[in-house]
Amino acid sequence: MFLLHKHDTLWVFLLISIFVPYLAFSVPKFIAPVRKGPEKLASYESGIEPKGDIWIRFQIRYYMFALVFVIFDVETIFLYPWAINFQELGPFAFIEVIIFILISIVGLSHAWRKGASEWSQSPNF
pLDDT, tens digit, 9 for 90 and up, residues 59-114: 777 777 788 888 888 888 888 888 888 888 888 888 988 998 898 889 888 888 88
- One DSSP character per residue, 42-74 reads S--BTTBPP-S-S--PPPHHHHHHHHHHHHHHH
**Is 120 among the domain residues?**
no
Domain count, the chain: 1
- Report the Cα 18 to chain-centroid distance in Å: 22
Task: Tell whether 68 is covered by a domain.
Answer: yes
Range of the domain at 99: 60-114
Q: What global pTM score does this model have? A: 0.47
The full DSSP string for 69-95 is HHHHHHHHHTHHHHHHTHHHH-HHHHH
Q: Identify the CATH number of the domain in which residue 110 sits.
A: 1.20.58.1610
Within a domain: 102 = yes
Q: Are 124 and 117 in contact (CB under 8 A)?
A: no
